Amino acid sequence: MGFIPSLKSGPYTFRLGLATYLCSKKIYIIEHEYYAGLSIAIMIVYPVKELVPATAEFP
């Protein structure tokens, strides 16, 4: 694949395969609260990263 460097594709493949295995065997269970927390974290982190430098420069 063009977007993943050929020398580093092993760790990416391992992580994806491990995540798929854990989810398929119900070792790592993802419920709706996981997605709610993930979306809330994104909604908090993104504005802080974007707005805090701008507000720090504001006189």
**Segment 1-44, tens digit of pLDDT:** 566 566 667 788 888 899 888 888 887 777 888 889 889 999 99
pLDDT value of residue 32:
83
Encoded tokens for 6: 């050929």
Which 8-state DSSP code applies to residue 31? -
- Pairwise CA distance, residues 17 & 13, whole Å: 6
Apex CA 38: angle with CA 31 and CA 51, to 5°? Answer: 170
- Pairwise CA distance, residues 32 & 38, whole Å: 10
pLDDT value of residue 53:
75
Q: With beta carbons less than 8 A apart as the criterion, state whether 14 and 20 touch.
A: no
pLDDT value of residue 12:
82
